[in-house]
A and B are shown apart, each in its own frame.
Chain A
Amino acid sequence: MTETDTAPAGTMGEVGRARRRKEDARLVTGRTQWTDNIQLPGMLHVAFLRSPLAHARITRVDVSAARGRPGVVAVFSGRDFAAEQGSLPCAWPVTEDIVIPDHPPMAVDEVRYVGEAVACVIATDRYRAADALDAIEIDYEPLDPVLDMTEALTEGSATVHEVGNRAFTWKFAQGDVEGAFRDAPVVIDRTFVQQRLIPSAMEPRAVVAQTDGDGFTLHSATQIPHILRVMLALTTGIPEHKLRVIAPDVGGGFGSKLQVTAEEVLCLLITRRLGRPVKWTESRSEGNLTVHHGRDQLQRISVAAESDGRIRGVKVDLLADMGAYLMLVTPGVPLLGAFMYGGIYKMDAYDFTCTGVFTTKMPTDAYRGAGRPEATFAIERAMDELAAELGLDPMEVRRRNWIRHAEFPYTTICGLTYDSGNYEAATDRALALFGYDELRAEQADRRNRRDPVQLGIGISTYTEMCGLAPSRVLGSLSYGAGGWEHAEVRMLPTGKVEVVTGSSPHGQGHVTAWSQIVADALGVPFEDVSVLHGDTASSHKGMDTYGSRSLSVGGIALVQACEKVREKARQVAAHMMEASPDDVEFTDGRFRVRGTTTERTIQEIALATFAAHDLPEGFEPRLDAQATFDPDNFSFPHGTHLCAVEVDTETGATTIRSYVAVDDVGKVVNPLIVEGQVHGGIAQGIAQALFEEVVYDADGNLLTTTMADYLLPSATDLPVFVTDRTETPATSNPLGVKGVGEAGTIASTPAVVNAIVDALRPYGVRDVRMPCTPERVWRALHDRAPSAEEGASV
């Protein structure tokens, strides 16, 4: 429990206070500006016709009938844009020989997944636009779909693109892997399926494009207004300085809005063609089809260990489903996991191979955690399997392998330097809160009684790399941009503060956290700080929000900008008080000449700087500053999550009985926001373990187009989370902070699945594929594969 709006005992600062979010009163009372709320004079509405086939050649397009429908202003097919639409960008060519197929925003000759845009209607209202889609005639010549990654790589398989289905193979190796596995007393070899997921943001995607005949403005429900501007300029040929991108209020993203979408490009092209503003808002079903999907990997992991459980080495061989095209960071996502398969453990050898595979499905890309949840799942599941193989307690196996607190900073086998961590402390706290020994006793009792409801205990001792990212590291991984972040701090004449951040929030609470940081750094009231973001006209520079980077990168830029403002103010204060700047101290917003009572408030200095009547010689009359921070290292939050499940062996149903999360995210700026991130993160990780799965049928049709088919858990389906924190400050940044946006999602999935497998181990069950639905658990228990008549693989 976090007590709100009260200062922790013994501190005076804003940082660390559980401030209620400044944003929320406006958000919960509907005084928001979502992209879909925007109404412009003369605005038209766009509806897209989408491919009903997974793979086909387009042989005929006739839009003439649709043009005659009521309210229709224009109808275009891919052929109308072929000369100007360019190719949607992939900014992460992970290898030199990677295949990056041309990706037209609107299909011209061939469609490669169900849902790919093939035509569009622009009409006076949304309903008429949707109605007229029925009148567009398109003939297709069906081609073979490509749906299974393993099959896709076999000789003679149908191909998504002429060049074949292999996009790239990326390798990384360290140490003597062969030696580690040769004669190893224990080898655990498992294959895990990371099912495909849909990042379901509360707000659907929406785009409004307009032009004044000279420049263009694009409103989009995006996480990345700055990156989007650059990429759209490159894609459409609209000069960057003639394109303004605005992310107004944005209702969640989870990575799905870290994208340059076909609809964004096409809305710009349509408005350029017609000279009128246009709006497109997706429906939920359209979103399920065409929001980029997440995960979808086939993971083979092998762990070689000594007979006492100490790990010798780990081998990982991944197939990663790219879908039909490579989008903004599609190929890089599995590689963000490449460095995390070692988890928190020490070993001498590591070998990683990832092959990206094309299929005729919606492209995959970043989804909360992006690569790290997959890696963490595999190593944490493998640790439980290793413990079972050796007859050891799964926590004991982890203890024998993890990096001890005294060993930090520690360079892992994957080449990362973990700056800080205290796995012992987080684990001890979690075990105590959980009642680990009591639950093990109850488990033994239920096993003895053959209780139809079995108890299982799952562990996840995770870490992750976030705070993306040091630019030099991104460069070494062939990423197309840097990982810095920008901030500007402006003291206004009346002493209020305006902050401009390049980190574009979509639900994270930046305005509150940034206000707390500025309040402490400049000694101004929390209420006196406002934060501007998400508009490339007012926030000219930024790398946006993803990868748990806002605080540990953008927050540091903010601190540095505040320091610059403070030093300028010190110059003015010293001048006003006729003292040397070296003799002027700054405390709680006041500059005081050391050893005297002479002082000036920062607000007085702001006004004096504005008036500029009497400033130090050569001093520019401005009390503002910018800073761009490029981190030296990632941040490495960690923690111990423990999950107890009850599995009903008669129905296969899993109920989470208790869930304890002890996370170490370093210094905390706002405990309430951190707790919100942890809760939401755990929920999303549990959702992968138990509920969510994208299903395509044998023809490549998406079956999970609605929320009746694609199950999202609600609060009713989730347990009360017991959360706590240990605090081991990061040494890699001056605030001591680490990212928290993805940690819960990364940690929770393996904790839940480990618990289910733990419950069922006496029945001979060694794995249950995610999501662990009641039916899958039941079949695992009864070794009951469905017959051909009953359907494909479970």
Chain B
Amino acid sequence: MIPASFDYSRPSSLEEALAVLGDAGEEAKVLAGGQSLLPLLRLRLAYPTTLIDIGRVAELRGIADHGDHVFIGAMTTHHEVVRSPVVNEHCPLVALATATVADRAVRHRGTFGGSLAHADPAGDLPSVALALDMDLVVRSSSGERVIPAADFFVDYLEPALEPGEILVGARVPKLGPGWGFHYEKFHRTAQAWATVGVAAAVRRSNGTVAEARIALTNMGPTPIRAVAVEAAVRGAAADRNGALREAAEQAAEGTDPPGDLHARPDYRAHLSRVLTHRALLAACAV
């Protein structure tokens, strides 16, 4: 638990951070809340040459209502997200999922953007970003670009960030009235990562499911949209009479669940079906 040596830089503005990052080369890492990166350093699983600590970059922190979407700054802590009236009113799925992240201590240090940029498929926020079709805003010294969540999670721990880019935040679309949300997380202890998680947003109309967006946590190297379920559930009766369960049976389709000490792949596939059903029921409030 003793990290190898590295250079450390703590810029106070985004401009300065981007300049340092541009100069530091490909082996530099951006340090946000440190809840994922520091353990990797201490286990000597990561050997960055430079750590760029953006903890003092105030402009990356905060939540703003932009009419059709909510902008959540990358350095906003999980705790701030969970407590935000704007997030709770307009994108409750983000608040629901964030409230399940680890424990209070982690939620006070860990950040919204750090969790997305780490791109851990076992993290809770990547699948939420995917389910809600968030737009992720990244900046480099040459300017800004916007990456749809569907393109952001490239592979295991691999976001679509180019060298020199920093994630500055996400635009979370407001889904408007008629939508229900749920994040169903299954984990062995309160502080453990999700064995499997299901982020669900469902729009109901006349007692049936008009539209559903479902994304799975820890069912492959990236978060995965359960497209088969989304298709199967369209038009299904939003009740407990079996249509939702039947749709949820498609949950593991197209996934590549990992096997580890907490769950083997077939059990994860099973869980994804059970949890998707439960997420649909809860999102439909039935």
Contacts and interface: CB of A to CB of B under 8 A. Distances in A.
Interface string A771-794: 001110011000010110011000
B222 to A, nearest CB: 20
B188 A790 contact: no
B271 interface: yes
Given A704-B261, A714-B189, A774-B188, A790 B266 contact: yes
Contact of B264 (A127, A717, A775): A775
Interface residues of B, number: 29
A623 to B, nearest CB: 50
A130 B193 contact: no
B198 to A, nearest CB: 12
A496 to B, nearest CB: 41
B189 A711 contact: yes
A773 B103 contact: no
A283 B2 contact: yes
Q: How large is the interface on A (under 10, 10 to 19, 20 to 34, 35 or more residues)?
A: 35 or more
A72 to B, nearest CB: 14
Interface in A653-712: 653, 691, 695, 703-704, 706, 708-709, 711-712
A286 B1 CA distance: 8
A284 interface: yes
Contacts of A774: 186, 188, 195, 263
A716 interface: yes
A285 interface: yes
Contact of A790 (B39, B42, B189, B264): B264
A23 B262 CA distance: 39
A711 B188 CA distance: 8
B186 A791 contact: no
A711 B192 contact: yes
Given A126-B2, A285-B1, A778 B190 contact: no
Contacts of B266: 784, 786-787, 790
A651 B190 contact: no
Contacts of B275: 651
A791 B259 contact: yes
Nearest to B193: A708
A717 B189 CA distance: 6
Interface in A744-780: 773-775, 778-779
B262 A773 contact: yes
B142 interface: no
A653 B275 CA distance: 12
Contacts of A126: 2
A706 B265 contact: no
A131 interface: yes
Contacts of A704: 261
A148 interface: no
B5 interface: yes
Interface in A125-151: 126-127, 130-131
Interface in B228-286: 259, 261-267, 270-271, 274-275
Contact of B274 (A286, A651, A786): A651
Given A651-B186, A651-B271, A717-B190, A775 B1 contact: no
B12 interface: no
Nearest to A773: B188
B124 to A, nearest CB: 15
B58 interface: no
A650 interface: yes
Nearest to A695: B261
A774 B188 CA distance: 8
B189 A713 contact: yes
Contact of A714 (B186, B191, B262): B191
A722 B2 CA distance: 42
A773 B265 CA distance: 15
A775 B196 CA distance: 12
Interface in B1-44: 1-5, 39, 42-43
A708 B192 contact: yes
B189 A691 contact: yes
A790 B103 contact: no
Interface in A303-334: none
Contacts of B264: 775, 786, 790-791
Given A691-B189, A704-B261, A717-B189, 5 more contacts: A130-B4, A651-B271, A711-B192, A716-B189, A791-B259
25 contacts: A47-B2, A131-B4, A131-B5, A283-B1, A284-B1, A285-B43, A650-B274, A651-B186, A703-B261, A706-B43, A708-B192, A711-B262, A712-B189, A714-B189, A716-B103, A716-B189, A716-B190, A773-B188, A773-B262, A774-B186, A775-B262, A778-B270, A784-B266, A786-B264, A787-B266
Interface of B: 1-5, 39, 42-43, 103, 186, 188-193, 195, 259, 261-267, 270-271, 274-275
Interface of A: 47, 126-127, 130-131, 283-286, 650-651, 653, 691, 695, 703-704, 706, 708-709, 711-714, 716-717, 773-775, 778-779, 784, 786-787, 790-791
Top 8 A-B residue pairs of the complex, sorted by shortest distance between their CB atoms:
A283-B1, A716-B190, A130-B2, A790-B264, A775-B267, A650-B274, A717-B189, A711-B189
